Amino acid sequence: MAAFDNAKEFFVACETGLGWAGCEPYVAAGATFDAQSEPLTEVRTVMDYCEWMAAFGNNTAPGARYELHASGFDHESRTALFFATYHARHTGDGGPVPPTGKETHSHYVYALTMNSDDKVERMVKIWNAPWAMRELGWA
């Protein structure tokens, strides 16, 4: 069960804006990231995603938080899934426009594939980015 425990620790560290420094202990070297979401098309590593999340949550939307609805672990594929809603208000620097004061309540899923050392080796984020961008007043 260490793999799922590490996946949970990674999820919390990433979602609370700890950046790479807070996430690195749970991630394998060279871990890849993938998302079919416009704001993340250039992000290819878990390290870069962790930094992106930290910048968004600490600068663009200070006070952002998540609400975890469900999580689970598939032992055969060594994949942890986390379904949550991200609650954020654009009050800080960052983003494509000056602060709008608008908020998003955006659903998303993380699929974290764990390696034999119980560390994240691959991350997929499933997220309807256009929805969140519209709610924030960016589109």
1 pLDDT above the threshold of 70: no
In sequence order, the β-bridge partners of residue 105 are 87
**116 CB contacts (<8 Å, ≥6 apart)?**
none
What is the model's pTM?
A: 0.96
Q: Are strands 27-35 and 120-127 parallel, antiparallel or unpaired?
A: parallel
Residue 69: predicted pLDDT: 98
**Measured between alpha carbons, how far is 26 from 120 in angstroms, rounded to an integer?**
6
**Predicted confidence (pLDDT) per residue in 30-52, tens digit:** 999 999 999 999 999 999 999 99
**Predicted confidence (pLDDT) per residue in 50-96, tens digit:** 999 999 999 999 999 999 999 999 999 999 999 999 999 999 998 88
Q: For domain 2-92+102-135, give the CATH number.
A: 3.10.450.50
Which residue ranges make up each domain of the chain? 2-92+102-135
**Predicted confidence (pLDDT) per residue in 88-123, tens digit:** 999 999 888 999 999 999 999 999 999 999 999 999
